[in-house]
Amino acid sequence: MDNVALIGMASIVVAGLTIAVGSIAPALGEGRALAQALSALAQQPDEANTITRTLFVGMALVESTAIYCFVITLILIFANPFWSYVTTQLGG
């Protein structure tokens, strides 16, 4: 197996693992945050504005992790920095 095929396969496998872990972990975190926020709203309905605002900020921060993983996956698949290195080493 040549280096180009090996780098291609490694990039696809790493991209798949990145998006798998990068989407499962934030989804679990968002579910837990929502459950805790709903519990807090049930116990203290007067603080609904504060709890909701804090929940949305927290959700945005958790979701940014998934977006970063998605960006890394796109870079590995479409703009892989290793392709130019391999092709110059092969003389292409």
Under DSSP, the state recorded for 44 is -
Single-letter amino acid, residue 34 = L
Q: What are phi and psi of 80, to 5 degrees?
A: -65, 120
Q: What is the pLDDT of residues 40-71, one digit of tens each?
A: 999 999 999 999 999 999 999 988 988 998 99
At 37 the pLDDT is 93
Residues ≥6 apart with Cβ < 8 Å to 55: 33, 34, 37
Phi/psi at 55 (nearest 5 deg)?
-60, -45
pLDDT value, residue 82: 77
DSSP letter at 68 equals: H
CATH code, 28-82: 1.20.20.10
- Locate the domains of the chain by residue range: 28-82
pTM over 0.75: no
Residue type for 81, please?
A: P
